[in-house]
Chain A
Amino acid sequence: MSRPTTVTLFIQCLVDALFPEVGEAMVRIFDRLAIPLTYPENQTCCGQPAYTSGYQHEAASAARRFIDLFEQAEVIVCPSGSCVAMVRHHYPELLKNDPVMHQRALAVSGKTFELSEYLVDVLGLTDLGATYPGAVTYHDSCHLARTLGIREQPRRLLRYVRQLRLVEMANSDTCCGFGGAFSINYPEISVALVDDKINHIVESGADTVVGCDAGCLMNIRGRATRRGIDIRVMHLAQVLAGGVRE
């Protein structure tokens, strides 16, 4: 049996600073699968906030740093769809004027995966032995679903979680209104969108909403607690790691 590929962890800045339990859950998942892990401790941010606000020089700087730190990895796995979309779709474009960096960006792009994508499409797994008693609805975050085309993989994994009842909400792939800086610059519009999302979650009958992007989850949870709405907001990794109760 060949040695399993070492997974290099790309931990989104939001997860690092605000939701480290999501990163921990990822580690638990890979440890349970006996997959060796590494974590470049100097990683900070993939540059997406700068890119979506138009600051492409700063974003390119972050990209170059990321490539330096990660390009020796065999495979890079990240619990955030928007960060993976940044690396796969925007890094090569940002660095297109530097042929050498462009090639290096392409190489890194080719081995960067989102968590559910890596588990299902690359490792061929669907049942991780997890348990989560509850009615769960899944939120399709925009970059994951539209840019990366990943919609089925998280659902497949959720269906194999014991005692978990998966219910679809209306408009599961309608934007939750986060949009990075948009949520701060246009807060009223942002809140109107997340209110729609929360209403759909509640109408679905689920007690838990699961997603693959900490930005969306932070947005949904932040509004839900302010509105006094009792729904659990969890990252897919947490459910798959055994369902750590908040």
Chain B
Amino acid sequence: MIERSSSYSEAARAGMHNACLQKSLRNLQARYGKGALDIWQSLPDPSLRHRVKARRMQTLAHLDQLLALLAEGIEAQGGQVYFAATAEDANRYVLDLARRNGVRRVVKGKSMLSAEIGIDAVLAADGIEVVETDLGEFIVQIAGSSASHIIAPCIHMDRQQIGRLFADQLGIPYNEDPPTLTRAARKALREKLLTADMGLTGCNLACVETGQISLVSNEGNIRMATTMPKIHVALMGMERIAATLDDQRDLLQLLTRGAALQKLSTYVSFLGGPRREGDPDGPEAFHLVIVDNGRSRILADPEFREVLACIRCGACLNICPVYGRIGGHAYHSPYSGPIGAVVTPLLQGINRHADLCKGETLCGACRDVCPVDNDLPRMLAALRHKLAYGDPAWQVRPHKRLEALGFALWQRIISNNWIYEMLLRVVRALQRPFVNPQGVLGPLPGLKGGWTEGRDLPPLAAASFRERWRTTLGRGRAQDPAGSHKEQYHDA
């Protein structure tokens, strides 16, 4: 996983001050987030997402059986399947495979799973050249940076930066024209794609019925990486599986629409084994590496199981107002945005990523736009619940003792009307020196400083609503059926 050199808030601040990133995200969200919502609203079958979600959950309920069948299907076509319990297992398998076959150069299709397990560093440490071939991933790779969006990795860089980067790294004269830069990358990467020993990709969706995995791309790099090198290794998150071709079709169409409003991406490849007799191209060996790395733990918890229905389309990134301001680097994970805020803590540690659990407003836009009807706000609330009290099952320690104390105190206050009113009176008296000529509270230190640094705070009103009700508003009305009960409530 990506090393953390700054906190969520610090990285968020950097993102908010990156003018290029801000402009790109604004354009992206204006077009794609809303565009996806429009598509869902005009579907001929309005229940499609709901049905697909139900089918995903049903698929997950049979996951062990389906994975076993998938493996059989791939092996029947001459492919090999390795079940990797951890990232280390997956990396070791691929490294051994590379060593056994004298692999010196690997070309990669975009794969977040590959970033999650950190395979690039493992291969590079062994002297193997690893080349990202998706243009955006290639750019962030040679820049020594990391992707900030699932679909558009270098959205945080402008053409001038990329121009300078290419001048440095590709030895071409400085140019900032996107077509010229793209052609330079095309030429440089073609040579790599045609001479690589191994192609390493992810897997969008595997299908049990056909025994084939599907891979989507617009650039053609994935087709190249899975056709020209002698070995193809596909890394697959264990949950990325469809039972029938109908399921795979439904999911693919939701994926390409959710990701970039496309009916289909330019290329969708289906493959399940090495080349056949009479094929002059295609890999001689195909390896599917199915990875757990913490997914079975998520699967085992009914509260979070549905997050495994995610098809990684990125629509939630394209609609989230928080992501739209802070950008992907603030999440310190290959999975950013709303999905990243849920999946990263579950895979990597809830305390470690407490900011991801708490650093959004739960506005619900992601839930509206998700093609598989995932309820991410519900899961964020569940993560916050674990941080509040701790949870031994997920090895969570209570996150902020002071905050817990604060809410315990809060409960006392709101459980007793007398205490509540007394507190209001005390604060009303204390606030007087802080109220400025405009009638509001300006910048304040401490807890309230969080608010008042950027905003004014209204003072407590001279008379609260309940006081006004008692003195004037409520006078002369019929008896209250809901009861002016005597204070009968006590803490539970």
Contacts and interface: CB of A to CB of B under 8 A. Distances in A.
B451 interface: yes
Interface in A37-82: 37-45, 47, 49-58, 60-62, 64-65, 68-74
Nearest to B10: A188
The size bracket of the interface on B is: 35 or more
A36 interface: yes
B47 interface: no
Contacts, number: 227
Given A38-B477, A41-B470, A70-B482, A188 B361 contact: no
Interface in B432-466: 438, 440, 447-448, 450-451, 453-461, 463-466
A208 B252 CA distance: 45
B361 A16 contact: no
Interface in A130-174: 142-143, 146-147, 174
Interface stretch (B157-165, B174-182, B338-346, B402-410): B402-410
Contacts of A189: 9, 12, 16, 322, 325-326, 359
Contacts of B459: 18
Contacts of A74: 481
Interface stretch (B103-111, B125-133, B411-419): B411-419
Contacts of A60: 492
Given A17-B424, A177-B361, A189-B322, A222 B480 contact: no
Q: Which of B361, B365, B384, B463 has the most CB of A within 10 A?
A: B361
B482 A186 contact: no
A27 B474 CA distance: 9
B325 A183 contact: no
Given A147-B364, A189-B326, A41 B469 contact: yes
B491 A69 contact: no
B341 to A, nearest CB: 12
B467 to A, nearest CB: 8
B468 interface: yes
B466 A41 contact: yes
A6 B450 contact: no
Nearest to A188: B13
A21 to B, nearest CB: 8
B360 interface: yes
A64 B365 CA distance: 30
B388 interface: yes
A222 B456 CA distance: 4
A222 B12 contact: no
A194 B456 CA distance: 13
Contacts of B447: 184
Given A20-B465, A188-B13, A72 B361 contact: no
A202 interface: no
A16 B480 contact: no
B46 to A, nearest CB: 15
Contacts of A225: 438, 440, 456
A107 interface: no
B455 A226 contact: yes
B385 interface: yes
A23 interface: yes
A174 B365 contact: yes
B483 to A, nearest CB: 6
B235 to A, nearest CB: 33
B315 to A, nearest CB: 15
A11 B321 CA distance: 29
A215 B481 CA distance: 30
Contacts of B411: 50, 58, 61-62
B12 A15 contact: no
B187 interface: no
A186 B367 contact: no
B477 A223 contact: no
A221 B473 CA distance: 27
A57 B415 CA distance: 13
Contacts of B385: 54-56
B199 to A, nearest CB: 40
Contacts of B468: 20, 23-24
Contacts of B470: 41
B99 interface: no
Contact of B325 (A15, A62, A192): A192
A38 B489 contact: no
A74 B487 CA distance: 21
Contact of B461 (A20, A57, A58, A187): A20
B473 A27 contact: yes
B67 interface: no
Contacts of B359: 182, 185-186, 189
Contacts of A177: 321, 361
Contacts of B489: 42, 64-65, 68-69
Contacts of A194: 455
Contact of A54 (B384, B458, B481, B488): B384
A181 B440 CA distance: 20
B414 A45 contact: yes
Given A44-B414, A146-B364, A188-B16, A53 B9 contact: no
Contacts of A222: 440, 451, 455-458
B88 to A, nearest CB: 32
B389 interface: yes
Contacts of B473: 24, 27
Contacts of A142: 361-365
A57 B456 contact: no
A27 B438 CA distance: 28
A133 to B, nearest CB: 24
Given A69-B483, A70-B482, 15 more contacts: A6-B481, A16-B464, A38-B477, A38-B481, A40-B484, A47-B414, A50-B411, A55-B389, A55-B404, A64-B489, A65-B489, A68-B489, A179-B360, A193-B321, A221-B458
The 9 A-B pairs at the shortest CB distance, nearest first, are namely: A179-B361, A54-B384, A222-B455, A54-B388, A175-B363, A38-B480, A191-B454, A184-B450, A23-B465
26 contacts: A16-B466, A18-B461, A20-B463, A20-B464, A21-B461, A38-B478, A39-B480, A40-B484, A49-B410, A61-B415, A64-B489, A68-B485, A146-B363, A147-B364, A175-B321, A179-B362, A182-B360, A185-B358, A185-B359, A187-B453, A188-B9, A189-B9, A194-B455, A196-B321, A223-B456, A226-B456
Interface of B: 9, 12-13, 16, 321-322, 325-326, 358-365, 367-368, 381, 383-389, 403-404, 407-408, 410-411, 413-415, 417, 420, 424, 438, 440, 447-448, 450-451, 453-461, 463-470, 473-474, 477-478, 480-485, 487-489, 491-492
